[in-house]
Amino acid sequence: MSTMTIDKAGPRRNVKYGSMSRDRAWALRWSYFFLVLFAIFSLTPPLYMLITSLKSSAEISAATNPWWVFHPTLDNYAELLTSNQFLRFFWNSAWVSIIVVTLTMLISVPAAFALARMKFWGSATLATGVFLTYLVPDSLLFIPLFKMFALIGDWTGVQLINRWYVLLFIYPTLTVPFCTWIMIGYFASIPKELDEAAIIDGASWFQTLTRIFIPVALPGLIAATIFAFTVSWAQFLYPLVFTTSTDQLVLPVGIITTLIKGDVFNWGQIMTGALLGAAPPLIIYAFLMDYYIAGLTAGATKG
């Protein structure tokens, strides 16, 4: 009798348990389905770029399968990497990005600290204001900014237009508000007791920032750095407007203006240039992601 009861109860329990895991299995299947779909969607363009960059101009214009390389060649890479012009674009981009990232961090980290922690009159409004400035599109700003720099040139004789370093003044208008906003969020998530403890321990505001907040909010700092770098590296409209001479161009504009001659598109080199241009952000992401993901605040307080 008793064995029969167990036999009866057994399958029933299994069914219930099985139905739960079946739900989970289906949820996982759907997740993977959409993840794969998303991966294909976002990886197809770079893959196409890679394929095209390995082809000669003749093969690109030939009516063959565009998804396959029949005669792979590294000529495009060799030509670009030995071209002084391309290397100049690359260095211009690198300098602009590195300096802009540094400037951005020097401005936005103390600004975010002040807005998040040093409660002063109007700090909350100012914090919202900072974010709102980020929402102003650059396509709206480039003409007034151009006029402004032209006027500065007229009045002071300091010519900034058509110099790569004019970008050092312009890019921070995009990066500083957003990075400040990100850092306000990160600093606000640090328990208030931590800076109170530091203040009682005898730290000044500056020491609290450098010795407590920056180390604790390092993941946020890295996120902001990555963002500022990506924005500076990939910016197109401003450099297109403000720089024209070939030796002053940055990479995205340089590729377009020098590799498209009239209606002749040098597709192989355009794709190669774009791929090489995408490499530095990728490398930076790869290196900094570990730090970014590591949650450094664990253990500060009870939670």
Partner 1 sequence: MADVSLRKVVKRYDDVEAVRGIDLDIADHEFIVLVGPSGCGKSTTLRMIAGLEDISDGDIMIGGDIVNDVPPKDRDIAMVFQNYALYPHMTVAENMSFGLRLKHYPKAEIKARVTEAARLLDITDLIDRKPKQLSGGQRQRVAMGRAIVRNPKVFLFDEPLSNLDAKLRVQMRIEIKKVHQKVRTTTVYVTHDQVEAMTLADRVVVMNKGKIEQIGTPNELYHKPATRFVAGFIGSPAMNFIPCRLEDVGGTLQIRLTDRLAFPLPPARAARYNALPRTDKLLLGLRPEHLTEWHAHLAPGVETFDTVLDVTEPMGMETLVYFGLEGTPVCGRVDPNAGAKDGAPMRLAMDLNNMHLLNEETGVVL
DSSP 223-272: HHHHHHHHHHHH--HHHHHH--SGGG--HHHHHHHHHEETTEE-HHHHHH
Longest pairwise C-alpha distance within the chain: 104
And the tokens for 210? 């450098």
Phi, psi of 196 (to 5 degrees): -65, -40
Nearest-approach distance from CB 299 to partner 1, in angstroms: 3
Nearest-approach distance from CB 195 to partner 1, in angstroms: 9
DSSP assigned state of 105:
H
Nearest-approach distance from CB 183 to partner 1, in angstroms: 17
Name the residues that contact partner 1, by CB under 8 A: 191, 193-194, 196-203, 207, 211-212, 215-216, 296-303
CA gap 97, 110 in Å, rounded: 20
Closer CB to partner 1, 12 or 302, in the complex: 302
User: Is residue 71 a contact partner of residue 225, using CB atoms and an 8 Å limit?
Assistant: no
Closer CB to partner 1, 131 or 206, in the complex: 206
Closer CB to partner 1, 107 or 288, in the complex: 288
SS3 (DSSP) at 66:
coil
And the tokens for 109? 């980290």
Nearest-approach distance from CB 198 to partner 1, in angstroms: 8
Closer CB to partner 1, 23 or 201, in the complex: 201
Nearest-approach distance from CB 181 to partner 1, in angstroms: 23
Asked whether the CA dihedral 76, 81, 87, 93 is positive or negative, the reply is positive
Closer CB to partner 1, 173 or 207, in the complex: 207
Closer CB to partner 1, 234 or 288, in the complex: 288
CA gap 288, 213 in Å, rounded: 19
User: Is residue 228 a contact partner of residue 179, using CB atoms and an 8 Å limit?
Assistant: yes
And the tokens for 123? 């700090």
Phi, psi of 19 (to 5 degrees): -65, -35
Nearest-approach distance from CB 118 to partner 1, in angstroms: 14
Nearest-approach distance from CB 217 to partner 1, in angstroms: 10
SS3 (DSSP) at 74:
coil
Nearest-approach distance from CB 211 to partner 1, in angstroms: 8
DSSP E strands, the chain: 260-261, 264-265
Beta carbons within 8 Å of 66's beta carbon, 6+ residues apart: 48, 51, 52
Closer CB to partner 1, 137 or 295, in the complex: 295
Closer CB to partner 1, 193 or 247, in the complex: 193
